[in-house]
C-alpha cells in the first residue's frame, strides 16, 4: 500500500511541476514574442533607436528566463536563441536591415518552437 501512495504522490508532483513549467514557458515566451514583433516593426521602418531599445528588452527578458530554461530545456534551443540575439545585435550595429529581418524571423521561430514543445499536451507526453 505504501508503494501505491508514494507512486501516486510522485506522479501528482510530476504532473503539477509539468503544468507549472508549461505555464511559465508560455507566459514568458509570449512576452518575448510580443517584443520581437515590436522589434520587427521598428526595423521595417528603419527606426534604429527604437529597435535597439526593443532588442535590449528582449535580451533582458531572455537573461531572466535563461537560467531556468538551462536546467529544463534542450541546450541547442538555448544556444540557437543566444546565437540569433548576438547576430541581430551585430547586424544592428551596421544597420543591415535585410539580414536583421531574416535573423529576427529565425528568433521568432525558435521562441515559438520552444513554447510549442513545452506545452503540456498529450502529443508532447508521448
Read off the pLDDT of residues 19-78 as tens digits, 9 standing for 90 and up.
898 899 999 999 999 999 999 999 999 999 999 999 999 999 999 999 999 988 888 989
> What CATH number did the domain enclosing 45 receive?
1.20.120
Kindly give the interhelix angle for 75-93 and 48-72, rounded to the nearest 10 degrees: 160
Residue 19 has a pLDDT of: 87
Instruction: List all residues 6 or more positions away from 101 whose beta carbon is below 8 Å from its beta carbon.
Output: 40, 43, 44
Residue 6 has a pLDDT of: 93
- Give the total number of structural domains in the chain: 1
* pLDDT mean across residues, the chain: 91
CA–CA gap between residue 8 and residue 119 (Å, rounded): 23
For residue 57, the enclosing domain spans 2-125
Percent of the chain whose predicted confidence (pLDDT) is above 70: 94
Global pTM? Answer: 0.86
Amino acid at each position: 500500500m505504501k508503494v501505491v501512495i508514494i507512486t501516486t504522490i510522485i506522479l501528482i508532483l510530476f504532473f503539477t511541476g509539468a503544468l507549472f513549467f508549461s505555464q511559465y514557458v508560455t507566459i514568458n515566451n509570449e512576452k518575448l514574442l510580443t517584443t520581437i514583433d515590436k522589434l520587427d516593426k521598428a526595423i521595417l521602418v528603419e527606426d534604429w533607436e527604437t529597435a535597439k531599445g526593443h532588442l535590449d528588452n528582449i535580451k533582458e527578458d531572455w537573461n531572466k528566463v535563461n537560467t531556468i530554461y538551462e536546467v529544463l530545456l534542450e541546450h541547442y534551443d538555448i544556444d540557437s536563441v543566444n546565437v540569433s540575439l548576438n547576430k541581430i545585435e551585430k547586424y544592428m550595429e551596421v544597420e543591415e536591415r535585410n539580414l536583421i529581418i531574416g535573423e529576427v524571423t529565425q528568433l521568432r521561430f525558435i521562441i515559438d518552437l520552444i513554447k510549442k514543445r513545452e506545452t503540456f499536451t498529450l502529443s508532447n507526453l508521448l
